[in-house]
Every structure is written in structure tokens, then in C-alpha cells.
Structure 1
């Protein structure tokens, strides 16, 4: 473009030009991958490998609000894999859960019953109330592990007393903070719910871990549920996305609500291809993740640290007070290492990019602190120490 008009256009377009790729970007990305390999904060921090990126850039081009070939293929595959009629790709697990609630709940007043630690209740910014206008009935499991049918029967609202909101959805989570929900209890709850016309939704953000640990196919695990949310960035290491599965009618209505929520996306082929890579190459790695987590747990026990949440999959909860230290002191010491460790309190999460060296370095930090405290005169307290972790560790966890 030449002349005055070209100059005018340049004045408009030139300020918008941007190059965000650093000259050191490749090295920066490798440094990021190293940092992730030494983080115990969450498996959401995993990053795409170079191989995943190379695969994903070959993805199809298309607008997912209209039709995106690779995304449509992913949705069809997920429906088959989970034994449901249809599936819907969404940006996040939170949106997937919220879409499920909004789609199941038709006419208020109504309530949703769930574990008091459930992500849908504790970590989704009050979304069930905001989006669906539903009351949530949070229940504390009597066994301090998972809800039972007896727990649910004590709190569920079934009659039409006008003082109460009828329970229309029972929401369960598997895993819940790394613990596996026994399948026989899920079946008992589901049979009870179906007899009363109550919908069952599974927050299966980490259902991949359950399948690997128990050797149970995903469709078998999810048969008792009317809808399932499965996350691709937790556990599997994909960059973005979750899938919601259910009947054709349910997913068609959820797709409508996805648009209402602002979740209709455009060029999603890159994300779908990343998920396909993760399903093929990362899903099988979870068995090794569980083994590494148990190795971490054994190391903690050998040091005299109290385990407040035993390893079932990829998480261990611990209390360091029996060796005379605390989470803040541990985190500060870990940050001072030549290659720092990133910690998040009482919960340690192991993921597909966690390095064995990170496990060793973390245990060495605790070993050094324990030796220092002992040399300074610290005496281990008698009996079991209750740090209240059952109440506290679930707050603001992702």
C-alpha cells in the first residue's frame, strides 16, 4: 500500500504489531519443563512435551462452533471410551461440571448432594449457585474417605415438603484428592438414585488414575453415571480441555449451554490433537506415577513423618511436625536448592513429568531438617499428632 491512505493504515496497524517469541524461547521452554519436573503443587502444571507439540501442529483446521474435524473425532472417541452416546469438548473441568449441573437441573427449587470436599462445591467459585440457582448439600463422609449410601440417605431431600429443595443430582468425584471411590459403593448409590429418578454426575477429572490402578475399563467405571466430566490436563498432561459425556439429548442441550457460558471455541484442532497424543502416550505412564508416589510415601515414613492421607494414586498428604518442622520451613529450604523444588503445603502431587531426582531431593531436604532439629534438642512427641489436615487440606485445592 502506498500514498497517504497506506500511511494512514500503517499508523493504525503498526502499534498493534507484537512479537512475543523470545530469542531464547526454546531454552526457556526447556527450563519450564525442568521446573515442572520439580513441582509437587499440582498435576495441572504439566506442560506439553516437544513431541506433543509436533503432533498437534498437524491438526485439522475448523471452527468448533460449526464443525472441527479433529475435535469431532475426539468427541466420538471419548463417547465410545466412556460407554456413552455423545461427548462435548470444553475448555476446563470446571465448565464441564457446571454444564452438567445446568443441563440436569430443569425446574427449581432443587439441590445437588455431594461430598463436602468436592471440587464442584469447594473450588468452582460458587458456580452451582450462580449458574443453576441450586442449593448444594455438602456431606461429610462418616468413614472420612468416601460417601456411602447411608451418608447420602441421611441428607438427601426426597419428599415435597415446601421447606426444602428436592435433590435432583448426586455428584460424586473419583478420584477425590487422590483417593479411589469404591466401585461397589458407587453402584449401590446409583441403584438408589435411579429408582428415585435422581441423576448421577461424576467429576472424573482424574478417573484415568482409577482405571490404571484398578485395571477397570473406563466404560465400566462410568456405567452408573448419567454424565461424566473427564479432564485432559490433570493426569494426562494435555494443555487445555475436558470432555463431558452423556446421552445424545443431554449433550445436545449441554452444547447449547456451552455457548451461553462463552465456551464455544473456534480452532480447537490443536487442542484435540494434543489430547489424542496424551491418550496414546501419557495415559500408560500413570502406573509409573503411582509407583513413584508410593516411593515418596515410603521415604516419608522412614524419616518419621506422619502420613495423613495414604497413597492410592498420585497424591500423598503428610504432616512434618513429628520431626520438628513445618510446611513453611520445608518450602523455604526447598526453594534454596540449586534447582528449586516447588511445594504447596500438606499435599504432594506426583505427575507424569515428576523426576525421580525431585523425589530424592525433597526427601533429603526433610532428612536435613530432621537432623538439625534433633541436634537442637527436639524430641518427637508421643502418640499420633493430629494436625487437622482432614479439614484443612481440601481448601483451595485444584
Structure 2
């Protein structure tokens, strides 16, 4: 989704006659969070080394702590979730092999086809339902026979959450078991895995206990300024470490940002429940508004997908009050996060209700 918010540069929006209101409430994504003062203090005081030489203490600690949290042998700190997913897929697959992935998953839709362009790994997209699920039979049918006319199916890529929807754990377990039956490795894009864990009151390691590699983002609901951690076996993480270097992701005094990631894992997991609570309160407040529609069954964590033929006008109305949305046609995705407190939630509700009452 493209951001629907006036540019602060008048040369880009020469027709803008009224002053642009600075963004004070940002609903575009949970990637927009800013480090808290406590996190900034930890970053400022961080001991650092050279991560390419393997001697940055905070990076080493972050990798160990993330691996332990998710029940894996080893971890690797990377600049972004996209690079983390890419390094993992390339660590699993050789050129000309194939990865199975849900059609609406981030690896397939939003990572510039990197696994294909840079790794020559084919992606086979499986049809997903409204909640991001595909079934066991789809998986089995997609696995290629031993035929040199076709690529070798090597990997199953999963995601949790998918557009804010929690993937039922019993179904994930069944998919992984079926993948293993077919000789496939498994990777989990867990950019928002912690939202799923908190919402289900399950340890994060339980969600991925049989999955070979997992990528977890630190810069979304957990509030770090950047970074993801890839965890898995020692062997595959070392393979991914070489790929990280190849992709330009080798970092030097990265302990400053790794310290933020450690703070996020130590302090910001349990607070995700507040984002979920506020998202439910927002949904309840918006239900029944004439001209505004959404599927309540998809409101499961911190995302709310709204539809209205007046969406563009609504976004303009909110922008004048400092509230930023992303808009595509008649649709928007509202994402709540740690920078939106109860007072901000009240303002969001009042602004949206006020717009539709006036129209």
C-alpha cells in the first residue's frame, strides 16, 4: 500500500494551499514506531565490537537470546526481515529448486521476487483463504514428482500472522508434518510471530517447534528501530551468515542496534496484548457505521482492514488532524502499535465517527 499523506515538501505537492499537519498518530504500519527513551539509553550505553569478526557482544547476545526464545540452536542478526527471509530461502534451496509459499505471503508478494531474481529459486504460490490458510491437499499436490522437466520442490514457506490473522497451531503442525513427509524443509516468516504467541498465550518456541528456520522482526510491534533475527540449526545459520555477507548485510559496530533488539525482546513482548485490546476496541467503536465495512472475524491481533467508497476522503480528513493512513482504492489497513495509547485511540475513533456523521 502506498502512503496516503501529503508530502511535507511543497515542491512535490505544489497544489497544497493549506499547511500540512505533521503526523502525530501513524496508522500506516507497526514499522513506524520510534525507540522509547529507555531503549535509546540502552543503545547509547551499548558495548560494541565488529560483528563481521564475530566480536560484538550485544549482537552475539541477541542472537543467542533469540535462538533460546524460539527453541533453536543458533541465531543470525540481519538488517531487515526481507534479507532474513531471502538468506533463509537461499540457505535451504539451490538454483533451479522450488519453494512453496502462500499466495498472499510477504515472501511472495512484497520482497521484489528476491528469491527468484537473486537466487534462481522458483516460487510456487498456493491459493490461500481469507485468513491466509491453505490446506494439506494443496501442499501435497504442489510437490513435484521426480521429473527433470520440473524443478525440485525443496522448501515450504509459512507465515504467522498473515495480515494480522493467527494461523491455528494444529494446522501449522499438520502442514509441517506433511512437508516433512514429502522431504521438504520448512521456513517461517514470523515477522509478527510474537503477536500470534501473545494472542494465544503460548510460548513462542511452541509455535515453531518443528520448523527448521524462523525469521522474527524486531522493528514492528516490538519497537526496535530496525533488524530481524533468523534462527535455526547451527549448520543452516552458518550457511545464512555467508549469504548475509554476499547480500551486503555484514555489519560492523552493530551492537548499538542489537542492544535495542535485546531490549525489545526483554521488555516489549507482553505489551503486545495492549495493541490487540485497542484494536478490538477500535473495531467495536466502528461497527455499524453506515458506509464503512470490515470483517470482524479477521480482527485478531493489531490490524483492521476497512473498506469504504469514501476512503480517500476519509484519509484526507484524518491527515488534517495529523492521523496517517495507507490507502489503496477503497481499502485501508489500520495498524495499532506501541506509539498509540488510549488517548490516541479516542482521537482516532472520534475522527472517523465524525467524518461519517458529517457525510
Same-fold call, TM cutoff 0.5: yes
Q: Which residue of 2 aligns with 1:73?
A: 61
Would you say the 8 A contact 1:82–1:218 is kept in 2? yes
| Matched residue SS, 1:306 | coil
- Choose the corresponding residue for 2:214, options 222, 228, 231: 228
- The superposition leaves residues 190-244 of structure 1 with CA deviations (integer Å, 9 ceiling, x where unpaired) of 1111122201000000001011100111111111210000000011000111000
1:180-329 alignment runs, 5 A limit: 180-304=166-290, 305-308=292-295, 310-321=298-309, 326-329=310-313
User: Aligned pair in 2 of structure 1 residues 215, 191: CA closer, same or farther (>3 Å)?
Assistant: same
Conserved? CA contact 1:96–1:243, under 8 Å:
yes
1: CA distance between counterparts of 2:221 and 2:212? 23
Determine if the alignment matches structure 1 residue 351 to structure 2 residue 337: yes
Q: Which of 1 and 2 has greater Rg?
A: 1
Q: How does 1:10-21 map to 2 (within 5 A)?
A: none
Matching of residues 162-181 of structure 1 within 5 Å: 162-181=148-167
Q: Distance in 2 between matches of 1:258 and 1:274?
A: 20
- How has the CA–CA distance of structure 1 residues 36 and 371 changed in structure 2, closer, same or farther, with 3 Å as cutoff? closer
**How far off is 1:135 after superposition?**
1.2
**Higher RCO (Cα < 8 Å, 6 or more apart):** 2
Q: 1:36/1:80 Cα in 2 relative to 1: closer, same or farther (>3 Å)?
A: farther
Superposition RMSD in Å? 1.7
Contact residue 279 and residue 336 of structure 2 kept, 8 A? yes
Other structure's SS at 1:272 match: helix
The answer (yes or no) to whether the contact 1:37–1:355 under 8 Å persists in 2 is no
Which has the larger helix fraction?
A: 1
The partner residue of 1:361 within 347, 351, 357 is: 347
Partner of 2:112: 125
User: Contact 1:235/1:286 (CA < 8 Å) preserved in 2?
Assistant: yes
CA displacement, residues 161-186 of structure 1 (integer Å, 9 cap, x when unaligned): 23321221110110011001111111
Instruction: Give the aligned partner of residue 73 of structure 2.
Output: 85
Whether the 8 Å contact between 1:47 and 1:237 is mirrored in structure 2 is yes
Which residue of structure 1 aligns with residue 8 of structure 2? none
Equivalence for 2:126: 139
Are 2:104 and 2:132, in contact at CA under 8 Å, matched by a contact in 1? no
Deviations 1:349-396 (A, max 9, x none): 0001113233222322332332233xxxxxxxxxxxxxxxxxxxxxxx
For the 8 Å contact 1:226–1:246, the answer to whether it is kept is yes
Aligned residues: 332
* 1:133-157 C-alpha deviation (Å, 9 max, x unpaired): 0111112224654122123223x13
- TM-score normalised to the size of structure 1? 0.80
Distance 1:68 1:35 in 2: 38
Please give the secondary structure, in 1, of the residue aligned with 2:295: strand
Q: Could you tell me whether the CA contact under 8 Å between 2:286 and 2:353 is conserved in 1?
A: no
Runs of 4+ in 1 over 4 A off after TM superposition: 34-37
Q: Which residue of 1 aligns with 2:319?
A: 335
d(CA) in 2 for partners of 1:205, 1:139:
20
Q: State the SS of the aligned residue for 1:276.
A: helix
- 8 A Cα contact 1:228 1:244, kept in partner: yes
> TM-score scaled to structure 2, two decimals?
0.89
